[in-house]
Structure 1
Amino acid sequence: MRLPMWLSQHVAALRALLVLTVLLGLAYPLAFVAIGKLPGLSGKAGGSLVAHGSTLIGQAFTDSDGNPIPKYFQSRPSAAGKGYDPTATSASNLGPEDVVDTADRKSLLTQVCARSQAIGKLEGVDGSRPYCTAGGVGAVLEVFHRDGLTGPVTRVISVNGPAFMPTYDGVTVESGTGEIPGGVITPIRGDAPAHPVVPSDAVTAGASGLDPDISPAYAELQAPRIARERGISEKSVQELIEKYTVGRALGFMGEPGVNVLELNMALDKG
C-alpha cells in the first residue's frame, strides 16, 4: 500500500535524521578520537596536561599581588579574561592607532609602554621604546593649527598626562587628560633605540591570550635574572632555553618559541 504524500515525506526525513545522527553524531567524533590517539598527536589531543597546568595553555608565574616571581620565566601578556582564561580566550582588539588614553582604559600604546618599562626594571635593562615617555605612557600630542589641519601651530596638549616635552614647534606643551575635538593626534617618536631591548612579544598580548610560548629573545633576556635568583650559571639556563625551543611549524610557518611551563618545570627539577 502506498503511503500518503505527507507521511512518506516524514518517513524520508526521519531516515535522513537517523543516517546523519549515526554519521555525524557517532562515526565522525569517534574517527577524530581515533586520530587523536595516533603517535605524536595523543599529547595535544589530551590537552598536554602536566602537574602544574597544560603545556598548550599559557599561565602567569606571579604572586598573589600579581607581581612576577623572580625565579621563574615570565609568560607573554594575556588579554583573555583576567589573564590566560580558557573560557574567555580573546585578543584586546586594539590596533596600532589606539594611542590616546581615556577615563575608562589605557590605550594599547600606553599598555605597551608600561609593560616595557616594568620589564626593563625587572631585568635591569633599558625598557625604553619609540613613542613612549619616560613615565611609561604613550608619547602623544594633540596639535591645533590656526586653519584646522594646516597653518601655524596655536596650541599643543599632551593627551596622556603630564607634558613630556617643553615645547612643540615653538608652542608650550600643556598637560592634558584625553583628546579634544579639533586637534591632530601626533605621536612623538623620541630618542629611544629603533630596536628596543625588550622584545615585542614581551609587551603585546597574542590573539588567543593563551600563548604557552615566548620568543627565544624574550627567554634570553630573562636568563641572567633566572641564573642569579637560582644561584646557577647563566650557561646552564641558556642550555635549557635551547632544549625547550621549538622551531617553525613545518620548517617555515610562524616563529620559533620556547614553552614557558616546560622551562620552569625543568628549572624546578634542577
Structure 2
Amino acid sequence: MNFLSKTPSWVGHHVAAIRVVVVLTVVLGLAYPLGMTALAQVPGLRDQAHGSELSGGGSKLIGQSFLDRKGAPIPYYFQTRPSDAGTGYDASASAAGNLGPESTVDVLGPDGKQSLLTQVCARSRAVGELEHVDGSRPYCTADGVGAVLGVFRDGGTTGRATRVVSLDQACPARPFIASYEGVAVECAKPGVDYGKTVVTPIRGDAPAHPKVPADAVTASASGLDPQISPAYAKLQIPRVARERGMSEAAVLKLIAQYTSGRGLGFLGEPDVNVVELNAALDRTHPMKGA
C-alpha cells in the first residue's frame, strides 16, 4: 500500500513549501552572496567593493576637513570646499545649507544666523588672507559681510530715502559706505526689526571675476564631495609648495594626476580630488612631526 496516497494534501503542501525555503536559502542566502563577494575581489572591482579606501584611512569618495583643532586650515594641505554635513564632512549627516540667492540679510545678535551672502563674503575674505590674494567679491564689504542696505522710503517701497541702515553690519561697526541717496548710513542694531525697509544690495568695486573661485566659498549639495575646481587647486599651489619644500611645478604635476575630466567628455566640469591629492603629498613629501 502506498503511504503517500493516504497523506493529507495539506502535508504535501507544507513539504513543498519547506523544500522551496531550503532551496532559496541555499541559493540566495549562501551561494549568491558568496558568489558576489568572490566577484568583488576581481582586479578592477576590488577597490570599489571595499569603499574606495585610502591606505591612510578614509575613502577617496568622501571629503575630509583639513583643519587643526582650532578649526584653522592646516597650511601644508590643500583645502576642500565648505561643508554643511554636520560639523563638516560628517558622512552620517549629509546635508546642504538650503539657503538660496535671496538669503542676503543676517539675523544679528547672540542667537543670530548668517545669510548665504555673508557666509560667502566671510569665506572669500578668509581664503584671500590664507592664499595672499584679493578676496574681495561683488556685494561684499571689506570686513567680510554682505553689502546690503535697508532703505526706508517715504512712500513705503518707493519715494525719497528717509533713513538707511547697513543691515549686515551690527553696531558699533562702521558702515561700508557713508551715505546713500544723500542720507547717512547707520549700522544695524541687533534685535531691531528692519522688515519694512527696501533691501538694496550694493555691488561695490570688486572685480567681476574674483580671485577666489566660487567653489571655495560654497558647499556642495551633499556636503561630502571631495573635489574642488582646478582653479581653486592652482590658487593653493604657492602655499602648499612653500610649506612642503617643493617646487610649484612639482605640485602642479601632482594636481594633474588627480584631476578628472568631464564625464563622457562633455558632462560637468574637470575637478581635483583633494583627499587623494593630500594623501599623495603625505606619501611623497611627508611633513616632519605631522
Is TM (by shorter chain) over 0.5?
Answer: yes
| Further displaced range: 93-102 or 23-32 | 23-32
2:168 is paired with a residue of what secondary structure? Answer: coil
The partner residue of 1:175 within 187, 192, 195 is: 187
Secondary structure of 1:114's aligned partner: helix
Equivalent residues of 1:157, 1:175 under 8 A apart: yes
Q: Quick one: which of 223, 233, 246 aligns to 1:209?
A: 223
C-alpha displacement of 1:27: 9.4
Is the CA contact 1:159–1:179 (under 8 Å) kept in the aligned structure 2? Answer: no
Classify the secondary structure of the residue corresponding to 1:160.
Answer: strand
Q: Deviation of residue 224 (structure 1)?
A: 0.5
The aligned counterpart of 2:118 is 110
Runs of 4+ in 1 over 3 A off after TM superposition: 21-42
Q: For 2:163 and 2:29, locate their aligned partners in 1 and report how far apart those are by CA, in whole Å.
A: 67
| Equivalent AA in structure 1 for residue 103 of structure 2 | D
The equivalent residue for 1:46 is 50
Contact between 1:44 and 1:56, CA under 8 Å: does it hold in 2? no
Q: Which residue of 2 aligns with 1:146?
A: 154
User: Aligned partners of 1:255, 1:34: CA distance in 2, in Å?
Assistant: 35
Distance 1:44 1:232, change over 3 A: same
Residues 142 and 179, structure 1, Cα contact 8 Å, conserved in 2: no
2 CA distance for matches of 1:118 and 1:210? 21
Q: CA offset at residue 32 of structure 1?
A: 7.4
Matched residues in 2 for 1:24 and 1:109: separation? 53
Aligned to 2:3: none
Identity of matched residues, %: 60
What is residue 129 of structure 2 aligned with on the other side?
Answer: 121
Give 1:155-170 correspondences, 5 Å limit: 155-161=163-169, 162=173, 163-170=175-182
Shift of the alpha carbon at 1:255? 1.3
Cα distance in 2 between the residues matched to 1:63 and 1:262: 19
Q: Report deviation, 1:43.
A: 2.2
Instruction: Deviation per CA, 1:217-248: give whole Å up to 9, x if none.
Output: 00000000011111111010010111110111
TM-score by length of 1: 0.86
- Give the counterpart letter for 1:132 in structure 2: C
Task: Answer yes or no: is 1:245 the counterpart of 2:259.
Answer: yes
Partner SS, residue 228 of structure 1? helix
Residues 15-46 of structure 1: CA deviation (Å, up to 9, x unaligned): 9xx7xx97998999889767766654442332
SS of match in other structure, 1:88: coil
For 2:96, which of 82, 91, 94 is the aligned residue? Answer: 91
CA-based RMSD of the aligned residues comes to 2.7
CA distance in 1, matches of 2:264, 2:31: 30
How far the C-alpha of 1:2 sits from its partner, in A, is 9.1
SS at match of 2:105: coil
| Contiguous gaps of at least 5 residues in structure 2 | 1-7, 286-290
- 2:120 equivalent to 1:101: no
Structure 1 residue 262, shift from structure 2 partner: 1.4
TM-score by length of 2: 0.81
Q: Residue 154 and residue 261 in structure 1: after superposition, are their counterparts in 2 closer, same or farther (change >3 A)?
A: same
Establish whether residue 56 from structure 1 lines up as the match of residue 70 from structure 2: no
1:198 maps to which residue?
212
In structure 2, what is the Cα distance between the partners aligned to 1:152 and 1:30? 77
- Give the Å deviation of 1:258: 0.8
Q: How far is the alpha carbon of 1:59 from its aligned partner? A: 0.4
87, 111, 126: which one aligns with 1:82: 87
Q: In structure 1, give the amino acid aligned to 2:139.
A: Y
Post-superposition CA distance 1:61-85 (Å, at most 9, x none): 1111111111110111100000000
Alpha-carbon contact 1:55-1:261 (below 8 Å) kept = yes
What secondary structure is seen at the aligned counterpart in 2 of 1:87? coil
In the alignment of these two chains, the number of paired residues is 260
